[in-house]
Amino acid sequence: MMLTRLKANSEGKLAKQICKVVLDHFEKQYSRELGDAWSTTRDILTSPSCWQYAVLFNRFNYPFELEKDLHLKGYHTLFQGSLPYCPESVKCYLSRTPDRMPSERHQMGILKKYYLLNAASLLPVLALELRDGEKVLDLCAAPGGKSVALLQCAYPGYLHCNESDSLRSRWLRQTLESFIPQPVVNVIKVSELDGREMGDAQPEIFDKVLVDAPCSNDRSWLFSSDSQKAACRISQRRKLPLLQIELLSLWARALLCDLTILGSSLQLCESGEGSILTHRLETFQSLQLGST
């Protein structure tokens, strides 16, 4: 079966290695902030085999054979019928037990059949309720999962994918090439602009804006392979809430329509990013605040 072949091809890959510098920092911070809950959280955080990854199908190269295999393995669909907005074209599967599909390799000219992601990453995409023909901006778009998800929902009239980091921007371009066919590619623009300047430079252009602002992403950088870079990120993470505020508030001022900001964080404790974001965004009277 297709699923068996894919998993066989993924065997032999090196296991993730925990970065001691980061783990020591988490031990000090989260044992204090989370109390008894930290022990269980730590076990899951340090065990990638327990992490759950959803399988988002690509409607532009639909994997019918894989879908049958996933049903046989007990995978189930997410969100259909449980949210006010979830188009039938969005097909996302999740295993009832810890399991991870292997990623597909990028092959020039061949569209991938599925994208692996944390299922919660789809919630802000679905919250946008994208409609055909709308103009939408994905402000911090790399590696491209949310842009791909947006295109599973509808056919926008214009999709602007921005990523200020040049290396991540190349990753974004490759992701789009791997999932999106012609002529849909013709409505997509990729840029490497500073998102903090785009709101004032391009006011009232977009119907909807997705701001997946940079965050600490605790689960990801726990497995950093460079201890020096990890130590640097520990010191830099205090500045992230201010960067998030700059990105969000500029777009709040630039767009005429009333805005609902749906905030989510990949940091375990709300004492950092979440509380500062809520406090600062409350100064904008036109905003409604939600969280995931």
Compute the average pLDDT of residues 14-31: 85
- Tell whether the model's pLDDT for residue 133 goes beyond 90: yes
The amino acid at 104: E
The amino acid at 289: L
Query: Residue 265 has what pLDDT?
Result: 53
**Worst-scoring range by mean pLDDT, 104-113, 215-224, 276-285?**
276-285
- Measured CA to CA in angstroms, residue 209 lies from 95, 117, 247 at distances of 31, 20, 11
Homologous superfamily of domain range 46-284 = Vaccinia Virus protein VP39 (3.40.50.150)
Compute the average pLDDT of residues 224-231: 81
**Worst-scoring range by mean pLDDT, 23-27, 29-33, 144-148, 261-265?**
261-265
282 confidence band (pLDDT: 50, 70, 90): low
Enter the pTM of the model: 0.80
Feature table: binding site for S-adenosyl-L-methionine:
140-146, 163, 194, 212
Feature table: binding site:
140-146, 163, 194, 212
DSSP strand pairing (54-57 vs 114-117):
antiparallel
- Given a contact cutoff of 8 angstroms between Cβ atoms, the answer to whether 46 and 18 are in contact is yes
Compute the average pLDDT of residues 134-147: 92
Query: Residue 119 has what pLDDT?
Result: 86
Question: How confident is the prediction for the chain on average, in pLDDT?
Answer: 81
Query: Residue 266 has what pLDDT?
Result: 52
**Worst-scoring range by mean pLDDT, 3-17, 81-95, 194-208, 236-250?**
3-17
Taking the C-alpha atoms of residue 39 and residue 36, their distance in angstroms, rounded to an integer, is 6
Question: Domain extents for the chain?
Answer: 46-284
- Tell whether the model's pLDDT for residue 92 goes beyond 90: yes
Most confident region among 23-32, 149-158, 279-288 by mean pLDDT: 149-158
Query: Residue 281 has what pLDDT?
Result: 52
State the number of CA atoms in the 13 A half-sphere of 50 facing the CB: 9
188 burial via Cβ count (<10 Å: 0-12, 13-18, 19+): middle
Give the torsion through C-alpha atoms of 62, 64, 66, 72, to 10 deg.
Answer: 140
- Tell whether the model's pLDDT for residue 68 goes beyond 70: yes
DSSP bridge pairs for 201: none
- Tell whether the model's pLDDT for residue 289 goes beyond 50: no
- Tell whether the model's pLDDT for residue 129 goes beyond 80: yes
- Given a contact cutoff of 8 angstroms between Cβ atoms, the answer to whether 194 and 244 are in contact is no
Taking the C-alpha atoms of residue 261 and residue 124, their distance in angstroms, rounded to an integer, is 9
| Structure-token pair, residue 38 | 């930290």
Query: Residue 187 has what pLDDT?
Result: 96
State the number of CA atoms in the 13 A half-sphere of 102 facing the CB: 15
